[in-house]
Amino acid sequence: MGLDLGSIEDSVSGNFRIFIISILVLVVFIGIIAISVFFLVVRGAEQVMVPDVVEKELMQALMELQVKELYPRIQQRYTQTSLDKGLILEQEPKPGTIVKAGRRVRLVVSQGVVLNRVENFVGRNVEDVRMDFNTINATSGSGRLLAIREPVMHEFSSENPGIILTQKPDPGTEISGPTEMVFVVSRGRENSLITIPQLTGLEFSRALQTISTSGVNFRFTTREARGDEKGEVVVSQIPPAGTTAPQNTVVELVLTSPASIGNNEIFGVFRRTIPENPYPLSVRLDAQTPTGETIRLITVNYQGGDFTVPYRLPRDTVLILFMSNRELYRETVN
Residue 242 confidence (pLDDT): 94
What secondary structure does DSSP assign to 22-36, as a single string? Answer: HHHHHHHHHHHHHHH
Same domain, 179 and 279: no
| Residues 329 and 198 both lie in one domain | yes
Query: Within 13 Å, how many C-alpha atoms sit on residue 305's CB side?
Result: 15
Is there a contact between 258 and 310 (Cβ–Cβ < 8 Å)?
no
How confident is the model at residue 275, as a pLDDT?
Answer: 87
Angstrom distance (rounded) from CA 306 to CA 97: 63
Flag whether 32 is in a domain.
no
Q: Which tens digits make up the pLDDT trace of 203-217? A: 999 999 999 988 788
Backbone φ and ψ for 326, nearest 5 degrees, come out as -110, 130
Residue 140 and residue 61 share a domain: no
Whether the pLDDT of residue 116 is over 90: the answer is no
- pLDDT value of position 213: 86
Three-class DSSP category at 110 = strand
Assess whether 182 and 197 both reside in one domain. no
Residue 133 included in any domain: yes
Count of domains for the chain: 3
In a domain, 137, yes or no: yes
- pLDDT of the residue at 1: 46
In a domain, 289, yes or no: yes
pLDDT of 10 reads: 58
147-166 pLDDT, tens per residue?
Answer: 999 888 989 898 988 999 99
Which stretch of 39-53, 292-306, 307-321 has the lowest confidence by average pLDDT? 39-53
Average pLDDT of span 99-115 = 86
Task: Quick: pLDDT tens for 215-257.
Answer: 788 999 999 999 999 999 999 999 999 999 987 789 999 999 9
**Are residues 77 and 167 both part of a single domain?**
no
Tell me the C-alpha to C-alpha distance, in Å, between residue 234 and each of 13, 52, 121, 198, 252.
117, 75, 43, 10, 10
Residues of the domain holding 75: 47-110
Q: Is 237 left (phi over 0), alpha (psi -120 to 50) or beta?
A: beta
pLDDT for 160: 87
Average pLDDT over residues 174-186: 88
Q: Is 37 exposed, middle or buried (0-12, 13-18, 19+ CB in 10 A)?
A: exposed
Q: What is the mean pLDDT of the chain?
A: 87
